[in-house]
Amino acid sequence: MNRHSCIMAAVLVMFCAGVAGAQEYPILDRIAEKVIAKYQQSSCQELWQKKGQPESDMEKRAIEMLHNDPQMRQVFINKVAAPIANKMFECGLLP
C-alpha cells in the first residue's frame, strides 16, 4: 500500500464513520497504526517500486480532505511522520 492509498483509506473511513470531534479521531489512530505497520513491514524494494505511481481518484479526494481539515491532517501527520520518514531514510528514499 503506498503513501497515498494509506492517506485515502484514513480519510475515507473517517468520513464514512462520521468522525467529527474537534481533536478526537479514534478511527484515525487505528488507521495511522495500520499505515505505520505497512511501511515497517514493506521491503525497501517494494517501497521503491511504489514510488511515483499515480494516485487514484479516491486518493486525490482523500488528500484534498486532509488539505481542508488542518486538525485532522496535523493529528495524522504527527502519528505517521517519524516512522515513515525513518523507513524511507533506511531505504534511501530520503537524502
Spatial distance between the Cα atoms of 36 and 85, rounded to a whole number of angstroms = 10
77 in a domain, yes or no? yes
In the chain, which residues have pLDDT < 70? 1-23, 58-59, 62
Spatial distance between the Cα atoms of 39 and 57, rounded to a whole number of angstroms = 22
Please give the pLDDT value at position 86: 94
Please give the pLDDT value at position 81: 94
35 in a domain, yes or no? yes
Range of the domain at 53: 3-14+23-90
Please give the pLDDT value at position 66: 78
Please give the pLDDT value at position 74: 92
- The tally of domains found in the chain comes to 1
74 in a domain, yes or no? yes
Whole-prediction pTM value? 0.63
95 in a domain, yes or no? no
